[in-house]
Amino acid sequence: MKLYNTMSKRKEEFVPLEEGKVKMYVCGPTVYNYIHIGNARPMIVFDTVRRYFEYKGYDVNYVSNFTDVDDKIIKKANEEGVSADEISKRYIAECKKDMQGMNVKPATKSPLATEEIGGMVELVQALVEKGFAYEKNGTVYYRTRKFAEYGKLSHKNLDDLRSGNRSLLVSGADEKEDALDFVLWKPKKEGEPAWESPWGEGRPGWHIECSEMSKKYLGEQIDIHAGGEDLIFPHHENEIAQSEAANGKEFSKYWMHNAFLNIDNKKMSKSLGNFFTVREISEKYDLQVLRFFMLSAHYRSPLNFSAELMDAAKNGLERIVTAAQNLRFLKETAKAGRMSGEETEAFAKTRGFVDMFEKAMEDDFNTADAVAAVFELVKYANTTANGESSREYVQKLYELLARLTDVLGIIVEQKEEILDAEIEGLIAKRQAARKERDFARADEIRAELLEKGIVLEDTREGVKWKKA
């Protein structure tokens, strides 16, 4: 199995630190609002990577954090007049709903930054004791130049950064030894959450959080560290500097990064009005469509999001789901009995589709080609299974299709049919919940209907619904 390592800038054979096991850390979202579709890409991509490792028999310890203390969270809390804790808890719950909708498996462990402060303080203390960090007026900085290999992941030169990229410098340069030093611990400000430390009350810098949580739940060395390409510098570069200086060993063997997501060929931004949350997308499409769309391109290729491409993904997904439904129907009506000799030969040919699928996934997780292999299997099933087929043949085709689509996180199980009267009843309950300002219950009902394939649309004329 080969994967592209950002560190070496080439594909490398995957060799785990411990045979049969994969230790993987994926940077999670900062929870101050609903997650957007840019956040969704690494969630879906690296969930699929994890699923393939498990399909190949690896025991995967998959850790993905929630950053639940941050300037954006504090700003949102102040705007609403509530605590930062209330904001982060609310949006962690909402994020988990969206992840469930996208069929992203829960991580082995999803640590919260605020629950790991003690370990972060110890890690910063270790860096101070080793001379890699220093304190000034309650702020602790990392001595970037003391780490000789700084820049090895992003392939940036420290002197070039200093002379040509002022925007990359951290504030507070007047009290730092070097303009490129970054913050490990910051002192308390009025109205902000804070924790005790040897340098006074304060909170951790963003970068130290992941170094500590990765170390605590996976150990000093891990197999794979992953995230969006926007995290390469400075976040992952700083993680390496902190972790390797503190632990004295290579932090991660492999670094994987997904490319950006564009909207109608433009960078997603609130100012351009092309910023979409996963929740907004879920009002128009089943989130399985979003997942299928994300896997239609290689994870290292920029991906363009548009209504046309989402509709194409919806049609493609329907082809697969319809084939699975057809096989289920044939299974129920097929004559009992074992496969005939002809069917045994026919089923043996499906090995070619499995080989095509595995070859794609083992070439740096090329999900686009893996999806193409699934389509070939669908075509084959549609042309070789019919009312004359044995139950065993149809069953084996169905199980194979379900197994490969499960690696991609695509659900082919039929959703339970829901009657119009039930839909209208749930909509009435949702309207009542909204009237009572019980928005959590209203969201639950919307999610319940979406799970059954029903999309709601709030209009001036009232609530309209359609089948996804």
Instruction: Quickly count: other Cβ atoms within 10 Å of residue 305's Cβ.
Output: 21
Q: Please determine, for residue 464, whether its predicted confidence score (pLDDT) is greater than 90.
A: no
Return the amino acid letter for 3: L
Tens of pLDDT, residue by residue over 353-386, are 999 999 999 999 999 999 999 999 999 999 999 9
CA atoms within 13 A on the CB side of 371: 20
| Res 160: pLDDT | 78
Distance CA 116, CA 124 (A): 13
Angle at 36 between CA 35 and CA 37, to 5 degrees: 130
| Res 416: pLDDT | 57
Distance CA 45, CA 28 (A): 13
Do residues 33 and 277 make contact, with C-beta atoms less than 8 angstroms apart? yes
**Nearest-CA neighbor of 108 among 67, 48, 47?**
47
Rounded to an integer, the average pLDDT of 231-242 is: 97
**Nearest-CA neighbor of 231 among 15, 101, 33, 67?**
67
Distance CA 41, CA 231 (A): 14
Rounded to an integer, the average pLDDT of 304-310 is: 95
CA atoms within 13 A on the CB side of 309: 17
Distance CA 350, CA 397 (A): 8
CA 434 to chain centre: 31
> Range with the lowest mean pLDDT among 184-198, 212-226, 451-465?
451-465
> Range with the lowest mean pLDDT among 2-6, 208-212, 366-370, 417-421?
417-421
Rounded to an integer, the average pLDDT of 73-91 is: 96
Where do we find the tokens 């049919």? 417
Tens of pLDDT, residue by residue over 321-338, are 999 999 999 998 887 889
Q: Please determine, for residue 166, whether its predicted confidence score (pLDDT) is greater than 70.
A: no
Rounded to an integer, the average pLDDT of 420-444 is: 86
Q: Find all residues with CB under 8 Å of 405, minimum gap 6, and list them.
A: 320, 324, 374, 411, 412
The 3-state DSSP class for residue 17 equals coil
Instruction: Quickly count: other Cβ atoms within 10 Å of residue 401's Cβ.
Output: 23
Q: Please determine, for residue 271, whether its predicted confidence score (pLDDT) is greater than 80.
A: no
| Res 153: pLDDT | 98
Tens of pLDDT, residue by residue over 40-50, are 999 999 999 99
Portion of the chain with pLDDT greater than 90, in percent = 79
Q: Find all residues with CB under 8 Å of 458, minimum gap 6, and list them.
A: none
| Res 164: pLDDT | 45
Rounded to an integer, the average pLDDT of 134-140 is: 97
Q: Find all residues with CB under 8 Å of 140, minimum gap 6, and list them.
A: 124, 128, 133, 134, 183, 184, 185, 199
CA atoms within 13 A on the CB side of 194: 16
| Res 268: pLDDT | 80
pLDDT band at 165 (very low <50, low <70, confident <90, very high): very low
Rounded to an integer, the average pLDDT of 273-285 is: 90
Return the amino acid letter for 290: L
Distance CA 58, CA 314 (A): 31
Q: Please determine, for residue 162, whether its predicted confidence score (pLDDT) is greater than 80.
A: no
User: For residue 349, what are its two tokens?
Assistant: 């040919």
Radius of gyration over every alpha carbon of the chain, rounded to an integer in angstroms: 25
User: For residue 306, what are its two tokens?
Assistant: 């548009």
Mean pLDDT of the chain, nearest integer:
93
Do residues 153 and 256 make contact, with C-beta atoms less than 8 angstroms apart? no
Q: Please determine, for residue 170, whether its predicted confidence score (pLDDT) is greater than 90.
A: no
pLDDT band at 167 (very low <50, low <70, confident <90, very high): very low
Rounded to an integer, the average pLDDT of 8-26 is: 98
User: For residue 281, what are its two tokens?
Assistant: 């997308």
| Res 450: pLDDT | 83
The 3-state DSSP class for residue 300 equals coil
Portion of the chain with pLDDT greater than 70, in percent = 96
Phi and psi at 69, nearest 5°, equal -140, 120
Angle at 285 between CA 280 and CA 291, to 5 degrees: 95
Instruction: Show contacts of 73-80: CB within 8 Å, 24+ apart.
Output: 73/30, 73/31, 73/32, 74/191, 74/192, 74/193, 75/32, 76/32, 76/33, 78/191
| Res 275: pLDDT | 79
Distance CA 230, CA 39 (A): 11
CA atoms within 13 A on the CB side of 344: 5
Distance CA 143, CA 441 (A): 50
**Nearest-CA neighbor of 327 among 409, 371, 392, 411?**
392
Extended beta strands in 314-443, E state: none
| Res 439: pLDDT | 87
The 3-state DSSP class for residue 139 equals strand
Q: Find all residues with CB under 8 Å of 199, minimum gap 6, and list them.
A: 135, 138, 139, 140, 185, 187
**Nearest-CA neighbor of 65 among 18, 21, 115, 100?**
115
Rounded to an integer, the average pLDDT of 126-133 is: 98
Q: Please determine, for residue 404, whether its predicted confidence score (pLDDT) is greater than 50.
A: yes
| Res 421: pLDDT | 76
236 secondary structure, DSSP code: I
Tens of pLDDT, residue by residue over 101-121, are 999 999 999 999 999 999 999
